[in-house]
Amino acid sequence: MNAPAPKRLWQRFTRTRVGRSIFRVGLPESNLERSQAMVSSFLLHVQPAKVHRHALRASYSLGLGLISLYLFCILCGTGVLLMFYYVPSTDKAYDIMKDLQFVVSAGLVIRNMHRWAAHLMVLFVMLHMCRVFYTGAYKNPREFNWVLGVGLLLVTLGLSFTGYLLPWDQLAFWAITVGTSIAGYAPVVGEKLKYLMLGGHIVGQDSLTRFYALHVIVLPAIAVLMISVHLFRVRKDGGLSRPDEPGDVVEQIPLGQLPANKSYGLMELARGTTPQVGKNPEDEVFSWPHLVFRELLLFLLVTAVVLFLAIFWNAPLEEIANAVHPPNPAKAPWYFLGLQELVSYSAFWGGVVVPGLLVTALALLPYIDRKRHGVGRWFARERVVANTIFSVCVAIAVIFTVIGSLFRGPNWSWVEPWKNPPAVTEGH
């Protein structure tokens, strides 16, 4: 046996009484053991024992969903560490940011990791959605998982937005002031909604308490639940989407239509797209090691990138929040700057109609675009109309966000970022 030393050590450990009691199968050597390892381990059984080759193709999925999941995990870990210090009080929050920076061991690095991972998560959730659209992966039978995904995008934005306030600096205070006032433009319920979010008419202690509770309990709990269902459905809907192949037409008997005058085994109950029957075993590989190892490698890569960012770039922290000194311009977090730019033209259209229509259209998309063709391929020719419409929407969103982020100066006037900003005069 010429396996590497760590592997030999591990094998010896899993053969001991204690090792066997924990890992049950040990490091798999044969194909049988590989399958057994997958189904007998709690952490691995979420995934199938064998997986289609197509699902492993990095150029297809780009790993975007998995990256989002890993970022979420990093956020949970660093978030709990930050909670050991943070107090959601307008008197203390800002001082605690300073203490994290200056005296808490690794405080700054952990805050940086949390901040950059949060921005990255918003970005990667959006990219993941684009990938799913461009590969037509939201089509039957994955319609509902797309809807869950849209929900997760909103939860992600909510998590990022509620976390934005917590440092209680000028950036936080005014971004939340601007962000919630966009919500205030909604007809009839707008003002009430804003009041409900802030616990008052302006950002204050009650807002901080609310945002904190939402950020550390409510939204993470919803996110964990929805991510679980999202992953469950990925598997139940037949794994990652892929092009239809001859010979893998799945017997599709809707769940409620089994004849009731006989008894069934569990395998027979699990209908729909789930059972891997009728598929060509030649197209499948064992999840251990090909899926599991790739996933672990991707986790290492994501961790490395977040660590790298956190070591070399500090999370922003401006002056302590001051309700009477608004910065000019006061800007929302970057992912809402497209909206803020729209709002600068028309509060009602930009703040209510456009975002409302966008979210509705996204949620209803799989029920509108029902033709099952072009699934599982990037930019399929059959889907050129849908892809064009989507691309135009994405381009407009990107353009507005870039304008709002970089090209807007004092009083929301047009500035060119490569020129020096005009001097802001201080009035009495």
Residues of the shown chain interacting with another protein in the complex, contacts defined by CB under 8 A: 4, 53, 56-57, 95, 98-99, 101-103, 105-106, 108-109, 169-170, 285, 289-290, 293, 296-297, 300-301, 303-304, 307-308, 310-311, 317-319, 425-428
Dihedral of alpha carbons 409, 413, 418, 423, sign: negative
Token pair for 192: 């009430």
Q: Are 279 and 79 in contact (CB under 8 A)?
A: no
Q: Which of 320, 361, 337 is nearest to 161 (CA)?
A: 337
Token pair for 206: 């009650």
Closest to another protein by CB, 102 vs 418, is 102
Closest to another protein by CB, 262 vs 428, is 428
Least Å distance, CB 426 to another protein, is 7
Closest to another protein by CB, 289 vs 409, is 289
Closest to another protein by CB, 108 vs 148, is 108
What HEC string does the chain produce?
Answer: CCCCHHHHHHHHHHHCHHHHHHHCCCCCCCHHHHHHHHHHCCCCCCCCCEEEHHHHCHHHHCCHHHHHHHHHHHHHHHHHHHHCCCCCCCCCHHHHHHHHHHCCCCHHHHHHHHHHHHHHHHHHHHHHHHHHHHCCCCCCCCHHHHHHHHHHHHHHHHHHHHHHHCCCEHHHHHHHHHHHHHHCCCCCCHHHHHHHHHCCCCCCHHHHHHHHHHHHHHHHHHHHHHHHHHHHHHHHCCCCCCCCCCCCCCCCCCHHHCCCCCCCCHHHHCCCCCCCCCCCHHHEEEHHHHHHHHHHHHHHHHHHHHHHHHHHCCCCCCCECCCCCCCCCCCCCHHHHHHHHHHHHCHHHHHHHHHHHHHHHHHHHHHHCCCCCCCCCCCCHHHHHHHHHHHHHHHHHHHHHHHHHHCECHHHCECCCCCCCCCCCCCC
How far apart CA 65 and CA 51 sit, in angstroms, is 17
At residue 88, what is the residue type?
P
Residues pairing with 169 in the sheet: 320
Closest to another protein by CB, 61 vs 145, is 61
Closest to another protein by CB, 263 vs 425, is 425
Least Å distance, CB 292 to another protein, is 10
Least Å distance, CB 150 to another protein, is 31
Least Å distance, CB 249 to another protein, is 23
Closest to another protein by CB, 73 vs 226, is 73
Least Å distance, CB 290 to another protein, is 7
Q: Are 240 and 213 in contact (CB under 8 A)?
A: no
Least Å distance, CB 274 to another protein, is 24
Closest to another protein by CB, 324 vs 385, is 324
Least Å distance, CB 397 to another protein, is 30
| Residue for token pair 């849908």 | 386
Closest to another protein by CB, 109 vs 231, is 109
Closest to another protein by CB, 188 vs 324, is 324
Closest to another protein by CB, 112 vs 401, is 112
Residues contacting 269, CB < 8 A, separation 6+: 258
Least Å distance, CB 301 to another protein, is 6
Least Å distance, CB 25 to another protein, is 17
Least Å distance, CB 107 to another protein, is 8
Least Å distance, CB 115 to another protein, is 15
